[in-house]
Amino acid sequence: MIKNHLRIAVAALVAGVFGVALSASAATAPAHHRARQHGLEVRGTITAVNEEAKTVTITDMAGKETELSWTTATQVHGTMAVGAQATVRYMNKEGHDVASSIRVTPAGAPGAASSTAKAKTKTK
Residue 60 and residue 79 share a domain: yes
Q: Is residue 116 situated within a structural domain?
A: no
Tell me: pLDDT of 21 over 70: no
Write the DSSP string, 23-68.
HHHHHHHHHHHHHHHH-EEEEEEEEEEETTTTEEEEE-TT--EEEE
Domain count, the chain: 2
Q: Is residue 58 situated within a structural domain?
A: yes
Residue range(s) defining the domain that contains residue 57: 40-105
Residue 101 and residue 44 share a domain: yes
Residue 100 and residue 44 share a domain: yes
The model scores a pTM over 0.85: no
pLDDT tens digit sequence for 48-83: 999 999 999 999 999 999 999 999 999 999 999 999
Residue 49 and residue 31 share a domain: no
Residue 31 and residue 86 share a domain: no
